[in-house]
Amino acid sequence: MNKEITICETCDTYFPYIPQKLFCGDCIIKKRNAYLEKNREKGLARSREYYEKNREKIAARTRKYREENREKIAVQARKYYEENREKKNAQSRARYHAKKEK
């Protein structure tokens, strides 16, 4: 079996040959994260604009989902509370004592 390797164009690491692949996985992730960070505000603005235009439609879809999946949501909530009971109790105790000290 003839295994070929390729060198990454940015960091000079070797990785298994795949046709038309120029960058290693780490460099691809770095580039994607840099792009997302650079364009984060644009994406958030687009999301806010979409939500403002479709607020009623989104609320109706959420209501419908909650009505149809009431049991499923309740099971998920119970499971989450059981898994995080100590953390939740500690948070509420901390809030209680913080209010008491004021």
pLDDT single digits (tens) 38-72: 999 999 999 999 999 999 999 999 999 999 999 99
pLDDT score of 27: 94
pLDDT digits (tens, 9 = 90+) for 10-33: 998 998 888 889 999 999 999 999
pLDDT score of 102: 76
Distance between CA atoms of 84 and 77, rounded to whole angstroms?
Answer: 11
pLDDT score of 2: 64
Q: How far is CA 7 from CA 23, 27, 31, 39, in A?
A: 8, 12, 17, 29
Q: 52: which 2 tokens?
A: 């403002």
